[in-house]
């Protein structure tokens, strides 16, 4: 069993240990953001700006972190965000990740870019699994992938809608390439997008990279073809949130993709309150981007989220300690959340509201 370094007392402490263990190009791939990475930094800075109200002498008898989300009972509101190619970080890949998640009874969103078959991951899980989907240019393949997830027992489909094209300069400078033997195995057999028809002087983006990009019509078709709850990941405006509800989404994930798709967007946590006001409780909201402390989880819940998703810290834990590292990351966050709840007088998640946030 891996030994967790003794100087790790908080989630952020995993990061330098992970960096020491990983090739520089792999590190650039998992930590890098879009362009100048302002949004990556802003995701953390925004949480640091939010202040909490301490409340004393609250009755915490019977306190718990349980909730129901998309028809599933969860022990706590900390989920694993979908992230690609876990075998880059640990030989057991997503098998180790799901074991760590299951040890902490955490729901895991498995990426379409996973390095192990979705069925193999499901066989190792004892806590809820959701499947993350990118709409492929080959729509028939996309729908077959959803059917595979349904057959394997996944409890929801999470469609990432904010990444039709990307620009990741740190990754480019590092020359990242997938090592031999590691690939997005669940996308084997998908037809590649058609080659660009543009002349050399025409737009590589508009006439090439966007070929086959998803639209709202694709989401409507997916909604009609799956019996599972459908979540949309990548919502950053009230208008898109309302469109998602109109088209039949069961929940929305407020996310700027960890700062990896469009630089200089606001932090996810800063976008959350306006979206929550517009949605007005019609569907649950989740949030990702910048979660590093239990107080971050509390702040997200206070501002309108029902749960959060954690990405890079889970990868750091996986790189350092395999399944044990993943479980420890989740344990740290849950313990800190419970401490923050006690110190703000909130015995349950439903008790966490806007009054938890300090206003000048």
Residues recognised as catalytic: 257
Give the SS3 label for residue 51. Answer: coil
Asked if 277 and 285 count as a contact pair (C-beta separation under 8 A), the reply is no
Tokens of 345: 């007088």
């Amino acid at each position: 069993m891996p030994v967790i370094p003794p100087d790790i007392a908080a989630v952020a402490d995993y990061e330098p240990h992970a960096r020491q263990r990983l090739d520089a190009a792999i590190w650039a791939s998992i930590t890098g953001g879009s362009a100048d990475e302002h949004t990556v930094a802003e995701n953390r800075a925004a949480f640091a700006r939010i202040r909490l109200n301490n409340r004393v002498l609250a009755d915490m008898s019977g306190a718990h972190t349980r909730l129901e989300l998309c028809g599933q009972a969860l022990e706590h509101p900390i989920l694993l965000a979908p992230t690609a190619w876990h075998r880059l970080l640990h030989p057991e890949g997503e098998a180790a990740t799901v074991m760590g998640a299951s040890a902490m009874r955490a729901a895991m969103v498995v990426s379409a870019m996973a390095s192990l078959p979705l069925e193999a991951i499901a066989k190792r899980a004892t806590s809820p699994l959701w499947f993350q989907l990118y709409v492929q240019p080959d729509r028939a393949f996309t729908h077959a992938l959803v059917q595979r997830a349904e057959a394997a027992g996944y409890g929801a489909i999470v469609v990432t809608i904010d990444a039709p094209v990307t620009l990741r300069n740190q990754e480019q400078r590092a020359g990242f390439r997938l090592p031999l033997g590691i690939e997005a195995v669940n996308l084997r057999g998908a037809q590649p997008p058609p080659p660009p028809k543009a002349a050399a002087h025409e737009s590589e983006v508009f006439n090439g990279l966007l070929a086959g990009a998803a639209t709202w019509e694709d989401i409507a078709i997916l909604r009609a073809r799956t019996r599972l709850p459908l979540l949309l990941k990548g919502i950053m405006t009230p208008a898109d949130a309302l469109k998602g509800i109109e088209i039949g989404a069961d929940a929305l994930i407020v996310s700027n993709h960890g700062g990896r798709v469009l630089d200089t967007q606001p932090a996810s946590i800063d976008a959350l309150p306006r979206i929550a006001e517009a949605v007005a409780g019609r569907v649950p909201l989740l949030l990702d981007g910048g979660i590093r402390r239990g107080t971050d989880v509390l702040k997200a819940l206070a501002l309108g989220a029902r749960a959060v998703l954690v990405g890079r810290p889970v990868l750091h834990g996986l790189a350092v300690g395999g399944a044990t590292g993943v479980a420890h990351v989740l344990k740290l966050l849950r313990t800190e959340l419970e401490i923050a709840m006690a110190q703000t007088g909130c015995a349950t998640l439903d008790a966490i509201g806007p009054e938890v946030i300090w206003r000048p």
